[in-house]
Amino acid sequence: MWDTAVRIPFDASLLDGRGDASARDRLRTLIADVPGITVDELHALGLPGLFANLRALYRDGLISASTEPPRFFERATRVWATAGAAD
Task: Give the domain ranges of the chain.
Answer: 12-63
Q: Is the pTM of this model over 0.85?
A: no
Confidence of residue 2 (pLDDT cuts 50, 70, 90): very low
For 31-74, what is each residue's pLDDT tens digit? 999 999 998 899 888 888 888 899 899 999 999 999 877 777 88
Distances (CA, A) of 44 to 68, 69, 86: 23, 22, 24
End-to-end CA distance of the chain: give it in Å, rounded. 39
Q: 18: which residues sit within 8 A by CB, 6+ positions away?
A: 49, 52
Instruction: Give the C-alpha separation, 50 to 57, whole Å.
Output: 10
